[in-house]
Each structure stands twice: as C-alpha cells, then as structure tokens.
Amino acid sequence: MPLLHSDILCPYCLQALRAKDIKLACPLCGAEVRQSAIGAMRGRLPSCPSPSCHKTLASDKHCGHCGAKLPADIMDYAKYLRFSILGISGAGKTNFLTTMLHELRNTPGTPLVLAPMDPDTSAVFQINDQSIYETRRPVDATPPGMPPQPQQWRLRDRTKMTQKNIPSYSLTIFDGAGEDAEHIDAVISRYISGSKTLVVLIDPLALPGIRQRISENVFNWSTTAEHAAGASANMVNGLANYIRQSCSIAPGRLIDRDVAVVFTKLDAVKDSFGQSTVMQPSPHLARKGFVKADADAVDAEIRDWLASQGETAFLDAVDTEFQMKKVRFFGVSSFGQPPTGDFQLGRVMPHRVLDPLMWMLTRENIIPEL
C-alpha cells in the first residue's frame, strides 16, 4: 500500500479514510475480522476464524464510518478525482456521462484506459450504454429524491507505463436528479462539497429565446423539460450558496473550485455556430493532452452565444460566484444529432464529450496542457 493521501474519502459518506477507518470482513460469512499490527505492517490480510470459512482471507473492505462496502483497492491510487454533474432537469446529464465514458473506453489509440472499480458501477454503465448505443434510446431521467449514486472508475495512463508500474487514478462521479440540483439540499450539498470539480450542464433548448426558434419535433423529441426563465442562473446561485455555507466562504469572496460549464445539445443549435471551432472535431485526445488554444476559442464562442441569447444573468452568476481562472465553458453533443422520434435516436456520434474530462485531467497534472 502506498503512502496514504489526505484526500481519500469514502464515496458514500464523504468522510476521510485512513488505514484505521477500514474494516475488514470475510466475503463468505460477512463477519468483521481484526488485523494484527504485524499483518498490517506487512500488508497481509487476516483469515476468518470461523471454521466453516476454512481460513478464507478477510478481503472485503468496509468504511468504518458508514459501513458501506468499498472497492478492494480504494487506498492504492496515485491521485483521487471526484466530480459532480449538475444541471436543471432535462439537460441530459446521464446521457452526457454515458457517452463520455463510452468514448473514452472505445476510442482507438487512447492513452487512457478506463475500467469500473466495483460491480454496481459496471452494471449501471452497461444498462445506460446499451440503451444509447444498441437500443438507441436516451437514458431515462434519474428520479428526484434519489441521492447521487457514486460511480467509481479506475483510470490508467499507458503513456507512463514502465515494466513494473502504470500510473493509476481513482475517478468518482456523482450524478443526481436535475430536480434536486435545482433545489439543493443537505445531501446534495455533501456530494458537491466532496467534489474537486463541478460539471454544470446548460440545456440550450431550455433557454427562453431558443424554444421559439426550433421545430416542434426537435423540442418534443429531446429530453428538455419546461422551465421558468432564469432556471439555470438560479441553479448556479443556489449551488454557490451551499458551497459558501458548507465551506464557510464569505459572501464577497470568489469560490475556489474548478467549474466546467458544459453547453449540451449543440446539434440542435448548430446552425448558430456555422464553422466555428466548437463545431470542429476535438483535438485533445488525439494530441494526448489539452490543447489550450482550441479550448480558449470554444470558451469564447459559447460565452458569446449565451450573451447573444440574453443569458447574461447566467453568465453573471458564474463570473461573480467563481474565480474566472477556475471556470471553462465547453460545447458538446451527446448523440451528435437530434433524436429522430419520441425516445428514438439515430446513429449515435458524440461530439466533443471528452473535452471537459481532458480539462479536469490537465488540472490534476495527469495529462499535459499543449
């Protein structure tokens, strides 16, 4: 086991984890088994004392704070990345997350290898991935009131692999219901506070001026929900208030938190952008780094477009709550084209869905900024 980090948290209760906080249990009978001091020093697991278990090693790990079962290698990563996906209902959070993970796992020649850390993460991803890529149906919306279920992924960098080692990173993702993001409570606040990066999704079809300019079918077949004007700005203000309360940040002080503002459903408004940078293929993954010039151009294009649509309240909410150097705007399309019918997708061709993740990785010095 490597030296323990100060930022290892239980993905369920968000309490800090140290060696003394990990409880070992027998995978057969479930009984807790205490480890001797010598065994801990040597990194050896104790055996279950129950005769019926035949000295089975106590390999299951549980959080000493909340009792949740943890991945076996939870303490063994070089870095720990955590981000929350937030957005008003209908913004397409789970669709974006699923296509982002799929593209990272299936793009040929990618330097980054992604694998689930636990069975629950694998099961959820397979269901959502099959819905989008095989059944060609958007993922059902997350029911409101359900706490964000952490997805736990193992990320490995093959470009830094040696004969004896490959850098491995823990990636935990919190994806909750849009209705809950609009009215953040103490449970949602806890996950937000435990995240290193906030991913805020903006649905262009929910903006007041856009609804009147697109066809009835594009709106009705999308996942967009009806919202009052200013819903996105109100969400950002509520988000900032909870961060300030939980972290004791004064009202006049800007919040020191990385924020990726992701403009979704770009395909539905692509005519507004023409041949601009955001409509071109992403260069980041192919270049094995984060291409700053490309990202700067996209950031400016999205900001200018939002301002042209009268979304100054949202832009002001972001710029007056968070440090500008910590915020970056992105434009993505999870499906590559609008749905072709009610809960019916055509060929799925995600556009730039990996850009926010590549930015997060460069902020953690995992990939270079180019």
Q: What is the pLDDT along the chain (370 residues), one digit of tens a residue?
A: 344 445 789 999 889 998 889 999 999 999 999 988 777 777 789 999 999 999 999 999 999 999 999 998 998 999 999 998 887 777 788 999 999 999 999 988 888 999 999 999 999 999 999 999 999 999 987 766 666 678 999 999 988 888 889 999 999 998 864 444 555 566 667 777 788 898 988 888 877 667 667 766 666 667 666 655 566 677 677 777 777 776 778 888 898 889 999 999 999 888 889 999 999 999 998 898 999 999 999 999 999 998 888 888 888 888 998 999 999 999 999 999 988 888 888 899 999 999 999 999 999 999 999 9
Residue among 322, 331, 321 nearest 353 (CA):
331
Maximum Cα interatomic distance, the chain, rounded to a whole number of Å:
72
User: Is 245 in contact with 185 (CB distance < 8 Å)?
Assistant: no
Sign of CA dihedral 84, 86, 89, 94: negative
Amino acid 312: pLDDT: 86
Amino acid 200: pLDDT: 86
Q: What phi, psi does 46 have (nearest 5°)?
A: -80, 160
Q: What phi, psi does 234 have (nearest 5°)?
A: -65, -35
Which H/E stretch holds residue 106?
helix 93-106
Amino acid (1-letter code) at residue 353? V
User: Is 125 in contact with 150 (CB distance < 8 Å)?
Assistant: no
User: Is 150 in contact with 81 (CB distance < 8 Å)?
Assistant: no
Q: What phi, psi does 227 have (nearest 5°)?
A: -140, 155
Amino acid 250: pLDDT: 86
Amino acid 47: pLDDT: 93
Amino acid (1-letter code) at residue 105? R
Instruction: Determine the 3-state secondary structure of 42 from DSSP.
Output: helix
Q: What phi, psi does 317 have (nearest 5°)?
A: -60, -40
